[in-house]
């Protein structure tokens, strides 16, 4: 539709056109951008959800991993994509923290996207390579405090959940660990397993199998309560560092201007996917639960993003860590 034809349409006609567009939607394959490397926790959640949503929508949702710059690279590509419903972004809490962490962000977080809904909230675990000396969380704290400036901390770049968790840990322990950035915590986990880095803080969606297989050393969980999956792991609050408490929520976005009907169609499909027993089980096996239907909505995600930007801004400013 040309600009001239659009300019000639009334608002009512535009709404009708948009509703008609949504009715035929989707007519082709949808791309879901994951702003981190394949094999990591965001990728895992995205692949599970995309497959179910695709089946429901009668199309294929393919995953495109665009890792780099703590998730902001992938987010900026989606911000610039066609607002036609065929490019969506699955991102986590980093969508909110990057707004403060990056003073020269390529997009205006609250004005560059439309909202589909919340997907899940995932606990973080504090880990180290398998031959890391400390036996438990109390010893870990003591050891890291004494040796902090020579220990390495893997993360997925400034803006990633692993970065936020690591930052809270460093602040709480008052140690400057040497950070090693990756395009995602999938590759970071490979290096942790290989002993090339010492410590990592990451979602259970990427750490459960390794903790269960005892191929890494797990020290604590960042949730207010202990996890059913790892009842022996203390919470960070129990360990005396409640300021390191954090849960990683995920949401699905579309570029600004994507018709509301399309976002609603995606949201309805997301709700169905999250209620699917297979997804519930797969999420449970990875230490997480799907967001309830009332949160898998555009309004709930918008509110969450706004609240979380405001929540983390003072924390990041107090830490004084910026990406630029
Ligand atoms: N979610 C991870 C993080 O924020 C990155 C990833 O999914 O690979 O560190």
pLDDT band at 321 (very low <50, low <70, confident <90, very high): confident
Ligand 1 closest atom vs CA 39:
8
Evaluated on CA atoms 287, 292, 295, 297, the torsion sign reads positive
Q: Cis peptide before 285, with omega less than 30 degrees from 0?
A: no
pLDDT value of residue 24? 87
DSSP string for residues in 42-88? HHHHHHHHHHHHHHHHTS-EEEEE---GGGHHHHHHHHTS-SSSSEE
**pLDDT, average across residues 272-287:** 97
> C-alpha 119: how far from its chain's center?
10
pLDDT of res. 148: 87
Which ligand 1 atom minimizes the distance to the CA of 37? 8
Cα of 135 from ligand 1 centre, angstroms: 26
For residue 67, which atom of ligand 1 is closest to its CA?
A: 8
The residue nearest atom 5 of ligand 1, judged by CA position, is 184
Task: Return d(Cα 204, Cα 321) in angstroms, integer.
Answer: 25
**Beta strand 289-290 with 113-129: parallel, antiparallel or unpaired?**
antiparallel
CA dihedral 76, 82, 84, 88 (to 10 degrees): -20
Mutation test residue for ligand 1: of 33, 34, 36, 43, the one with most atoms within 8 Å of CB: 36
Comparing 172 with 321, which gets the higher pLDDT? Answer: 172
pLDDT tens for 67-97 read 999 999 999 999 999 999 999 999 999 999 9
Q: Which one-letter DSSP state was computed for residue 290?
A: E
Pocket of ligand 1, beta carbon within 6 A: 36-37, 40-43, 92, 94, 155-156, 160-162, 184-186, 202-203
Q: Which atom of ligand 1 is nearest to the CA of 203?
A: 1
**Full set of structural domains in the chain with CATH:** 25-121+248-319 (3.40.190.150), 123-244 (3.40.190.10)
Average pLDDT, the chain: 93
Instruction: Pick the closest to residue 206 from 137, 290, 274, 122 (CA basis).
Output: 122
| Among 38, 41, 186, residue to substitute to test ligand 1 (most atoms within 8 Å of Cβ) | 41
Determine the distance separating the centroid of ligand 1 and the alpha carbon of 193, expressed in angstroms.
16
- DSSP assignment letter at 160: S
CB neighbours of 127 closer than 8 A, spacing ≥ 6? 192, 199, 200, 201, 202, 207, 210, 211, 216, 217, 218, 219
| Ligand 1 atom closest to 186 (CA) | 8
Q: Compute, in degrees rounded to 10, the torsion defined by CA atoms 96, 102, 105, 111.
A: 30
Q: What is the pTM of this model?
A: 0.92
For residue 52, how many C-alpha atoms fall within 13 Å in the half-sphere facing its CB?
A: 21
Predicted local confidence at residue 21, as pLDDT:
57
Distance, in Å, from the CA atom of 72 to the CA atom of 92, rounded to the nearest integer, reads 11
- The CA 16 to ligand 1 mean position distance, Å, reads 40
pLDDT in tens, 174-191: 999 999 999 999 999 999
pLDDT in tens, 94-114: 999 999 999 999 999 999 999
pLDDT for res 11: 41
- pLDDT computed for residue 8 by the predictor: 38
Q: Report how far ligand 1's centroid is from the alpha carbon of 3 (Å).
A: 40
Among protein residues, the one with the nearest Cα to ligand 1's atom 7 is 42
Q: What is the DSSP letter of 235?
A: B
What is the model's pLDDT at position 235? 98
pLDDT band, residue 22 (cuts 50/70/90): low
Q: Does residue 2 have a pLDDT over 80?
A: no
């Amino acid at each position: 539709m040309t600009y001239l034809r659009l300019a000639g349409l009334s608002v009512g006609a535009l709404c009708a056109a948009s509703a008609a567009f949504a009715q035929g939607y989707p007519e082709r394959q949808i791309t879901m951008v994951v702003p981190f490397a394949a094999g990591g926790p965001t990728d895992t959640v995205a692949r599970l959800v995309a497959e179910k949503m695709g089946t429901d929508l009668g199309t294929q949702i393919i995953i495109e991993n665009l890792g780099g710059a703590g998730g902001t690279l992938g987010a900026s590509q989606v911000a610039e994509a066609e607002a036609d419903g065929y490019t969506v972004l699955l991102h986590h809490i980093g969508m909110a923290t990057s707004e403060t962490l990056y003073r020269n962000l390529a997009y205006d977080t609250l004005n560059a996207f439309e909202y589909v809904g919340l997907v899940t909230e995932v606990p973080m675990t504090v880990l180290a390579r398998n031959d890391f000396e400390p036996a438990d969380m109390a010893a870990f704290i003591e050891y890291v405090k004494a040796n902090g400036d020579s220990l390495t901390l893997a993360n997925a770049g400034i803006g990633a959940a692993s970065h936020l968790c690591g930052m809270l840990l460093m602040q709480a322990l008052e140690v400057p660990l040497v950070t090693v950035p990756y395009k995602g915590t999938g590759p970071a986990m490979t290096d942790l397993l290989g002993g090339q880095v010492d410590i990592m803080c990451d979602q259970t969606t990427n750490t459960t199998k390794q903790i269960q297989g005892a191929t890494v050393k797990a020290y604590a969980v960042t949730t207010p309560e202990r996890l059913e999956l790892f009842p022996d792991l203390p919470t960070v609050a129990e360990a005396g560092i409640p300021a390191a408490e954090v849960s990683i929520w995920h949401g699905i976005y579309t570029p600004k201007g994507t018709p509301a009907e399309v976002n609603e169609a995606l949201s309805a499909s997301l709700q169905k996917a999250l209620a699917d027993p297979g997804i519930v089980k797969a999420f449970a096996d990875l230490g997480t639960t799907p967001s309830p239907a009332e949160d898998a909505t555009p309004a709930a995600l918008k509110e969450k993003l706004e609240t979380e930007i405001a929540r983390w801004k003072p924390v990041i400013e107090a830490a004084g860590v910026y990406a630029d």
